[in-house]
Amino acid sequence: MRELLAQELLEIWERGSAQSPTERALTLLHAARPDLETETLANMSIGRRDGLLLSLRESTFGRRLASITNCPDCRAQLELGFDIDQIRLADTLVESEKSHTLSADGCELTFRLPNSRDLVAAASASDVDSARQVLMTRCVLSVRGNGRQVESDPLPQQILERVEHEMSRLDAQANIQVELECPSCRRGWTTAFDILAFFWSELDAWAQRLLVEVHRLASAYGWREADILGMSATRRNIYLNIVNG
């Protein structure tokens, strides 16, 4: 994973601001992994993609993940913190192209794991149920029952749930759950951790902060934006401290 410079990260943030979450992930990874074809990145299962995003987050902002949430019962505020290694699973699947089989309700299905292209297609659906069907239509490759072809569009609800469950099991990195416990009322619960949303909101806050710093330094010294961004964060901070008195 290539470490991205401040200038590059800012360009990614600018481009990604107008993109959907799925496209942002590809923009980030395309910059960090220029050795991988755009096609290869788009065809990766979402779990594999998220594994790469975790590595990129680690090389960009470090391995510690920290966030604030509220207890669903007593509303007390909780600070949660964990290391990336605690939620990074062993890399088992590389491409979503590989097909898997599943027996459900007397049918035998073959399917592949959803990738970024599938998510982009599903995002244009009008509601959640239609989005699920779009994913299934794209990812379920065949359905056979007693040697005959079975209607697969739409899939019966029960079969659809089995396939989703199996996809989630096979691509576990895409479905990270974090266990929490409220220190005030001892209520325990689990919450989904979405590295893409987490990383992007950090990047957004970082970019806004950086632009304010650039403004302060440019106003004080008359330096060009490119020169300020080209400095290490350490040097920028020293100058900022001087400017801020």
The residues that touch Zn ion, with contacts defined as CB under 5 A, are 71, 73-74, 76, 182, 184-185, 187
Toward Zn ion, which CB reaches closer, 130 or 184?
184
Q: How far is the CB of 186 from Zn ion (least distance, A)?
A: 7
Q: How far is the CB of 81 from Zn ion (least distance, A)?
A: 18
Please list, in sequence order, all residues whose beta carbon lies within 8 angstroms of the beta carbon of residue 2, skipping any fewer than 6 positions away.
31, 32, 33, 34, 59
Q: How far is the CB of 80 from Zn ion (least distance, A)?
A: 13
Toward Zn ion, which CB reaches closer, 185 or 197?
185
Q: How far is the CB of 92 from Zn ion (least distance, A)?
A: 36
Toward Zn ion, which CB reaches closer, 99 or 184?
184
**What is the distance between the alpha carbons of residues 112 and 137, in angstroms, rounded to a whole number?**
11
**What is the distance between the alpha carbons of residues 224 and 209, in angstroms, rounded to a whole number?**
17
Q: Half-sphere exposure of 78 toward its Cβ, with a 13 Å CA cutoff?
A: 21
Residue 188's region, left for phi above 0, alpha for psi from -120 to 50, else beta, is: beta
**What is the distance between the alpha carbons of residues 137 and 155, in angstroms, rounded to a whole number?**
8
Toward Zn ion, which CB reaches closer, 40 or 184?
184
Toward Zn ion, which CB reaches closer, 77 or 177?
77
Residue with token string 């799925």:
22
Q: Is the dihedral of CA 184, 186, 192, 194 positive or negative?
A: positive
Q: How far is the CB of 189 from Zn ion (least distance, A)?
A: 9
